[in-house]
Amino acid sequence: MIKKALASLVLLLMVVAGVVFAVKYNSTAGGSNGKLHVVTSYYPLYDFARNVGKDKVTVSNMTPAGSEPHDYEPPAKALADAQKAPVFVYNGGHLEPWTSGFLHDYKHIAVKASSGITVLPAEAQNNAADTVQDPHFWLDPVLAQKIVDAIRDGLSKADPANKAYYTKNASEYKAQLAALDNEFRSGLSRCQLRTIVSSHNAFSYLGKRYNLDIVSIAGLSPEEEPSAAKLAELSRLVKDKGIRYVFFESLVSPRLADTIASETGAQTLVFDPIEGLSNADQKQGKNYLSVQRENLRHLRTALACQ
């Protein structure tokens, strides 16, 4: 009887321990659906993670739809919830100011999107002497493929049982990014102009990839204010080069672009850095690939491409 009682007790303890483990795992991995919970810091990483993880993951985006990630600060509860996620994907090029403090306490798998990418320096505006990093590498479809690789590896490490699944999805999505790269190469190969003026210094990687000269009105942060001398210099550049369009961004006021355009007789066009796709755009089915193709169409218009 004693042996049977002990055996029953041991069995009960094992069952209890299993339940406790399951509850703990599910609370960490994304809830009772059993899917791997992945948290990303802003929209492009969210879209990439969804394409790699598909129905094996639940992806949460820390930056709300339609918000600018450069200066967004998540609320305390969102940060606390994200600490429980098995995978966290962030830029790594100092785009999101809150991530350094978050990572100090994060104990799980952190995927640095800039891994394996040479991050370009960018001179700070307003006579600042320091050199800062340009974190907008995701706009280059070739570098976006490296980000997908990093996400694939992070998901596979957190969930090795589904490594083959993540590898297959990553390969398929990278093929779509490679096709996008070919579209940009072909679409921008024969253009009357090679210079674009944009409100925000977000397009250096795209310019480097496709041999475009990118001139920004503001600096890396959309909130930076150019000097009067800078605005006058840009107006002269637009006139001298015969630039017909000045670009502004969907999440930023077009005021600066409008100022240059009104002084030079140019028009304005949207160039979307895809930093925070709005809810309305997402409901329409827009994503990284579709917005990049819109960007390409606008570039072709501005540069008078054949």
Q: Name which of 208, 159, 141, 138 is nearest 36 in CA terms.
A: 159
Residue 243: φ, ψ to 5°: -70, 130
pLDDT of residue 60: 97
> From the centroid of its chain, how far is CA 265?
33
**Per-residue pLDDT at 134 exceeds 60:** yes
DSSP state of 137: G
- Give pLDDT tens digits for 26-82: 333 444 488 999 999 999 999 999 999 999 999 999 999 988 898 899 999 999 999
Alpha carbons 184 and 242: distance in angstroms, whole number: 23
Architecture of domain 188-302: 3-Layer(aba) Sandwich (3.40)
Residue 58: φ, ψ to 5°: -115, 120
pLDDT of residue 193: 97
Contact between 32 and 38 (Cβ < 8 Å)? no
246: β partners: 197, 268
Which DSSP helix (H) or strand (E) runs through 269? strand 267-270
Q: Name which of 69, 47, 73 is nearest 60 in CA terms.
A: 47
Alpha carbons 259 and 191: distance in angstroms, whole number: 26
pLDDT of residue 32: 46
Is 7-183 a CATH 3.40.30.10 domain? no
Alpha carbons 175 and 179: distance in angstroms, whole number: 6
> From the centroid of its chain, how far is CA 61?
10
Alpha carbons 167 and 89: distance in angstroms, whole number: 17
90: β partners: 112
Alpha carbons 132 and 117: distance in angstroms, whole number: 16
Of residues 10 and 159, more confidently modeled: 159
pTM for the model stands at 0.85
- Give pLDDT tens digits for 181-190: 999 999 999 9
- Give pLDDT tens digits for 224-254: 677 888 888 889 999 999 999 999 887 777 8
pLDDT band at 18 (very low <50, low <70, confident <90, very high): very low
Q: Which alpha helices (H) appear in the chain, and where do they start and end? A: 2-29, 43-53, 76-82, 99-105, 141-158, 163-187, 204-210, 228-241, 255-264, 279-283, 288-302
Contacts of 95 (CB under 8 A, 6+ apart): 41, 42, 69, 70, 135, 136
**Per-residue pLDDT at 301 exceeds 60:** yes
Question: Which sequence spans correspond to the domains of the chain?
Answer: 7-183, 188-302
DSSP 3-state assignment of 271?
Answer: coil
Same fold, 7-183 and 188-302: yes
pLDDT of residue 126: 46
